[in-house]
Amino acid sequence: MNRRFIDWIWHIRGSLVLAPEQSSDEAFDRLAPLFRETGTSHERTNDTLTFRKKDQAAQDKMSVFDGGVLQIEKGMAGSRLHYHLSSRSLLFCFLAPLLFLGIAGFTLAIGQLPKSSTEATGASGKAADAKKKPAAKDADVPMNPIDKFLGAPKKPKKDGDETKGKDKKPTPTAAYVFAGIFATLYVVGRILEDRLVRVLFRKRLLGS
């Protein structure tokens, strides 16, 4: 499979037309401040600029990207800047929902597993013992000091109170919630970062 069919997930590509008579040197000089940020290194060869980022600062306007290539191509209609950027953050936000959906499926599978034969045997043994032994009196629930002072009657403890919550099955709700959050982050981030970097490059090239 051609990698380009899947690398759009964490790669952003685009192009911009340079101003008339704007040279490659002038264009890269205007873009240069973007690659002087902390944790950013870059190399320029003729009409191509390659950059890499490591431990980039949060205030870096291109902090979401880990590297990329900018290339200026000259044509009959004028020069055009082509950029190809990669982001591990986008890749993580894309894969995270799949991970949490897998956790949700695993949780559901565990909840649907039948009880073991040991548990079934133990349950039948308890039922037999209950038939042989006389019904025990309901234990008294500890009273609140205020209720006791006011003379309120004691409430008997129900048989199911002690086992309440023990048979509660695991729920996949939390996993679904996190999957939805990361899916939203990916969709918003993929669209937003594409537009933001395009606007950022255009402003720099125009000198605004």
pLDDT-wise least confident of 6-10, 89-93, 137-141: 137-141
Instruction: Compare 78 and 25 and report the one with higher pLDDT.
Output: 25
Cβ-Cβ contacts under 8 Å for 57 (sequence gap 6 or more): 37, 38, 39, 63
For residue 43, the surrounding DSSP H or E stretch is strand 40-45
Alpha-carbon gap, residue 146 to 127, rounded angstroms = 39
**67-75 and 40-45 beta bridge pairing:** unpaired
* pTM score: 0.71
Sign of the Cα torsion 160, 165, 167, 169 reads: positive
Instruction: Compare 10 and 3 and report the one with higher pLDDT.
Output: 10
CATH number of the 3-87+191-206 domain: 3.30.310
> Tens digit of pLDDT for each residue in 93-127?
999 999 999 999 998 888 887 755 445 555 555 55
